[in-house]
Structure 1
Amino acid sequence: MTRGTVTAADELDRPDVVAEVRAAFDRYERALRDADVAVLTELFWDDDRCVRYGVADRQQGGAQIAAWRRANPGVPAGRTLSGTTVLALGSDAAVVSTRFGYPDGAREGRQTQTWARLGGAWRIVAAHVSEVPC
Structure 2
Amino acid sequence: MTQLNDPAIVAEVTDLYMKYEKALCENDMAVLDALFWDSPHVLRFGATENLYGIDAIRTFRQNRPTRDLAREISHLQVITFGSDTASVTLEFCRTIEGIPRLGRQSQLWRKLPEGWKIVSAHVSYYNP
Gaps of 5+ in 1: 1-6
Contact 2:26 / 2:69 at 8 angstroms: preserved in 1?
A: no
| In structure 2, C-alpha distance between the alignment counterparts of 1:21 and 1:54, rounded to whole Å | 22
| In structure 2, C-alpha distance between the alignment counterparts of 1:110 and 1:36, rounded to whole Å | 21
Aligned equivalent of 1:60: 52
| In structure 1, C-alpha distance between the alignment counterparts of 2:54 and 2:70, rounded to whole Å | 28
| In structure 1, C-alpha distance between the alignment counterparts of 2:100 and 2:24, rounded to whole Å | 20
TM-score, normalised via structure 2 length: 0.90
Question: Are 2:119 and 1:125 aligned?
Answer: yes
Question: Are 2:115 and 1:115 aligned?
Answer: no
Cα 1:98/1:123, change in 2 over 3 Å: same
Secondary structure at the aligned position of 1:65 is classed as helix
Which segment is superposed worse, 38-47 or 63-72? 63-72
**Which residue, 81, 84, 93 being the options, matches 1:89?**
81
Cα 1:75/1:53, change in 2 over 3 Å: farther
Contact 1:22 / 1:86 at 8 angstroms: preserved in 2?
A: yes
Cα 1:117/1:56, change in 2 over 3 Å: same
The Cα shift of 1:116 comes to: 0.5
Deviations 1:34-91 (A, max 9, x none): 1101111111101111110000011101111111111127562441000000000110
TM-score, normalised via structure 1 length: 0.86
Q: Which amino acid aligns with 2:81?
A: L
| In structure 2, C-alpha distance between the alignment counterparts of 1:75 and 1:112, rounded to whole Å | 22
Contact 1:51 / 1:127 at 8 angstroms: preserved in 2?
A: yes
Aligned equivalent of 2:38: 46
Q: Which amino acid aligns with 1:133?
A: N
| In structure 2, C-alpha distance between the alignment counterparts of 1:21 and 1:67, rounded to whole Å | 26
Contact 1:82 / 1:98 at 8 angstroms: preserved in 2?
A: yes
The number of aligned residues is 126
Cα 1:94/1:70, change in 2 over 3 Å: same
